[in-house]
Structure formats: structure tokens, C-alpha cells
Structure 1
Amino acid sequence: MPDRPAYLRIADTLREGIRDGSLPPGTRLPTMAELCAAHGVSEIVVRQAVALLRTEGLVETRRGGGTVVRVVPPARRVAMERYRAVTRPLAVPETTFTRDQKISWQEYRLDKEFTRVRADDDLGALFELPTGTELLRRRFVFYARGEPQQISVNYLPWSLVGGTPVADPEREPWPGGTLAQLAYLGHPPTRVEESVRSRMPTPEEAETLRMGGGVPVIAITRRMLSRASVMEVCRDIVLPADRVVLDYSIDL
């Protein structure tokens, strides 16, 4: 077997150091000159090795700060039971997000953008409504302790929310979130459906969520139903894949 290319061997060595803890998160990698001297290769080869680690989401290059091992926050666990909990009376303001993040209402921030749109074919099928039905589109960016953690784009029928406080962005964040809003409108959710897939983030998503290169996102399409009627569609809930674990349980 031919020898592995030099850049792969260098990447293997650095990757092993990251994984065994000898290069802990936040540690600056050796300089280009140091790596070139240590491995007897040109700068081009070292750059290839570092670029590979960057695409794997293990390191990031900071302007004026060199290349450092990425600091990845502990993954939070997200379970379907989070929807059930919001149906009980709230002693303090909270949502599924604040409970997932274990943060107080004061540590929670929500950026929002509301627009009126028409359902495309896909949204019409999800809502089981005709294409062109008028909807309220709400784009949210969720922050925990000042750090962006999640993007959600959800839709509600305009015939349901038009002229109500739910269509007013100044009322956000709303304690209890969308579940509480639907209950307020007289249509408490009785069923939640989620479809989960993974993909690479768009440039806008990666910038908004301050993601490192090479990290995919989990994209969740959600429907909330009240009996047989679809009240809300979220397309999508976008989460950095290295920050979340999805927990699902089924009673048999």
C-alpha cells in the first residue's frame, strides 16, 4: 500500500491530539512554520491538513488569532415530551426552548420577523389547504444567554391569526410559545408531528448561528394539529447538529 499523503498524516496527528485532550478546546495550533518544520513539508501541505480539520468542524481560524481547536458547547437533549409540559399552567414564563436550554426568561432573547405570504405547493400540502392560501410567516432566531441557538420559520393560517395578538410581533416572546398561542385562539394542539433530516447550513444560517465550517444542521419540519385540522407548520426548525441530541420515546 502506498504511503498516505503527507497532509492526511498531519491531519491524523492533530485530530488525535484534539480527541485525546492533548489539544483541548480553545488551544491554538502550532504555527505554520512550526508544523512545516516538525513534519518536513511545505506550507501548502500544512494548509491542506488544517483545511481538512476545518471542514470536519474540529478547528476554526480567527482573524489575528491563528487556528484554534473549536469550543463546542455541551449538546442539549431535546425530547418530544417538551410539548406536553407546556400544556400545564405556567408558574413562571417559559417556552419549550427556555426549558430545553435550562435558562430563565431574563436569559432568553428572540429576534423576529413577521410577513404575510401565500402557501406554495409544499406548504399547501402540509396544511392540507389549497396552494395560494394566505399565511402568516414568522421567522425567529432564539438566543440563550446572548448566544444564537436555533432558527425557526413557522406559518399560521391568516384566517386564524389575522387581527389577533398572535399576529403582533411586539407580543413576542409569548409565554408558552406557539402551543399557548393556539390554545389562546381556541384551538389547543392535540397532536404534534415532526420530520427530521440533516443537511449543510445555508451561508445565512451558518452566519446567524455562528457555526464553524463543516458542521451540519438538523432541520425539523413540524405540524401542530388540533383534532383533524393543521393549525401550524414550521418549515424548518434549524439546529446546529453538534449542539443537540434528539430524544424520542415510544410507549409500547
Structure 2
Amino acid sequence: MVPPIPTCQRVIVRTTIGSVRRMIDPHGDRAVYRQLADQLRAEIAGGEYGPGSAIPSETTLMQRYGVARNTVRLAMTMLREEGLVVTYHGRGTFVRDALPIRKISSTRYKSAATAAADGSPQEPSEYRVEATHQEVPADETVADLLGLDTGTLVLERRILFFDGSMPQQLSCSYVPLDLVAGTPVADASNEPWDGGTVAALAGIGVTVTSIRERVRARMPQPEETRSLSVAVGTPMLTVTRTMFAGERPVEAAVDIVVPGDRGELDYLIDLT
């Protein structure tokens, strides 16, 4: 007697490349495209595909794992959203190169403040910038941070920082116009200031004595996605900053924005 043919047969696709054994279970609890994304992610982490190297084509991955084209595309979408790979039209998909990290440290203002106080020279800025300045009326948020009436004119400074060719940080800050009008601080061609805003204000006789920062994480806004060339799904670190000269707020940043995959927070809290 011929045994009946089962209506549903459990098939596990196994392949071996090098020393890594791969398993794709089309009937498992986890969607096949997620299994494929897991496998490729592990290969990237394990160094099988190094930074800048090409991921195999859709056709190759389909044949290797016995999956449909849409499965491969969904897996690639997951990896792109995680920032692990980038796809270039007509060229293929590649492991993303290691990105330079911009450190946001609680001590980053100290050297500028010390140099500004004793007149010592500043170290040249290591970053290239694109800067624009314009006079705008303060909205409610900016006015509240600077202690001004809404609508008071302020100088808006929008600065995009680059490390080599990679955009690293976007800063949008505001200074009371009556404080800087007609001074070098109001000239965008002077950006970036060696020593940053602390040194810039010191140059016009304004001594920053304290700084308040609030750090948050959020998803990028469309303009930030374009300006900072971030992968879809990359969270942003945002710093809302207020600088004070004595009791007077003299600068407010709303916000300093750093892609989460290119920045780290490094804060020292001294309790002595």
C-alpha cells in the first residue's frame, strides 16, 4: 500500500558557507523575511560582510535560501531601516561603512571657557560647516528660553557640521539680536568659531557662566533626514541648550541634533 502524501510538509532550508550554518524554516513562528534578516545581520556582525562590502544580489539570496523575491526585499528593508545597509539604485546593496562618532560631553565647554578667560589661543575647529544666519522673530519656545517677549527679534544661526564628507550634527540656535547686531558673531562667514559659541560670545565681551542642557531622543524630521543623510528609522539625539551670562540667557539652541548612530553622550557628574 502506498502511504498517503502529506498535504503540508515541514521543510527547513539549510546552507553552509564557511563555518556558518544557516537555517530558514518557512513554517516557523517567525516570518521568513525576519529569519533572513536575522541571518544577514549575524553575518554582518560576524565580519562575513565587512563595512562597504556588497550584499549578494536578490537572485543569489533567493537561490541560496530558497525564498521568494519579496522575502529578500522585506529583509533588506529591515536592515536598511536599522542603518546596517544602504542601497544605491543600479549598484546594489552594501554594508554601511563605520561612521565617525561625535561625542557630546559635559566637559566640552570647559576648554573654551578657560581659553576665553585667559586669552589663550583656541585649537582650530576639526569640523567643516555650512552656516546660515537670519534675523527672525522669536517664537514662543525661543522666547521662553531666552526670557524675551514673543516676537522679539533674534539672530537665528543654523549650522550643519561635517566630519570629512559625512554630516554629523545640525544645530539651530538663537541669540538676542540686541546683543550681537553689528558684531562678528552676527556674520555667518565667521563660523565655525574656534571654541564654539562660548568663545564667540567672549569675543564681544559676553562671558558665559553657566549652561543648561536637556537631552532627549526622537525620530528625525524630514528636513533632518535630508540634511544629515540618515537611514530610515534612525533615531536622533537632541540637546536643547541655554547659555547664561550671570542670570541673563544669552543663547538658546532648539535643538542640537545628532543621529543616534553617530553620537554618544559622555557626562561626568562630580559630586565633590
Q: TM-score, normalised by structure 1?
A: 0.89
Letter in 1 for 2:147: E
> What is the aligned partner in structure 2 of residue 78 from structure 1?
104
Describe how 1:12-51 pairs up with structure 2 within 5 A.
12-51=38-77
Letter in 1 for 2:93: T
> What is the aligned partner in structure 2 of residue 215 from structure 1?
234
Describe how 1:104-183 pairs up with structure 2 within 5 A.
108-183=127-202
- Asked whether the equivalents of residues 112 and 122 of structure 2 are also in contact (C-alpha less than 8 Å), the reply is no
CA distance in 2, matches of 1:142, 1:56: 23
- Once the 2 structures are TM-superposed, how far is the Cα of residue 92 of structure 1 from its aligned partner? 4.6
> What is the aligned partner in structure 2 of residue 91 from structure 1?
121
CA distance in 2, matches of 1:174, 1:239: 19
Unaligned runs of 5+ in 2: 1-26
- Once the 2 structures are TM-superposed, how far is the Cα of residue 130 of structure 1 from its aligned partner? 1.4
- Asked whether the equivalents of residues 124 and 133 of structure 1 are also in contact (C-alpha less than 8 Å), the reply is yes
Correspondent of 1:187 among 206, 212, 232: 206
CA distance in 1, matches of 2:53, 2:170: 29
CA distance in 2, matches of 1:10, 1:80: 41
Letter in 2 for 1:44: N
CA distance in 1, matches of 2:179, 2:248: 12
CA RMSD of aligned residues (A): 1.7
- Asked whether the equivalents of residues 109 and 143 of structure 1 are also in contact (C-alpha less than 8 Å), the reply is yes
Partner secondary structure for residue 242 of structure 1: coil
Partner secondary structure for residue 157 of structure 2: strand
- Once the 2 structures are TM-superposed, how far is the Cα of residue 93 of structure 1 from its aligned partner? 4.1
Unaligned runs of 5+ in 1: none
- Once the 2 structures are TM-superposed, how far is the Cα of residue 6 of structure 1 from its aligned partner? 1.0
- Asked whether the equivalents of residues 128 and 162 of structure 2 are also in contact (C-alpha less than 8 Å), the reply is yes
Larger Rg: 2
> What is the aligned partner in structure 2 of residue 59 from structure 1?
85
- Asked whether the equivalents of residues 137 and 154 of structure 2 are also in contact (C-alpha less than 8 Å), the reply is yes
| Higher mean C-alpha displacement, 5-14 vs 172-181 | 172-181
Q: Cα–Cα, structure 1 residues 21 and 222, in superposed 2: closer, same or farther, change >3 Å?
A: same
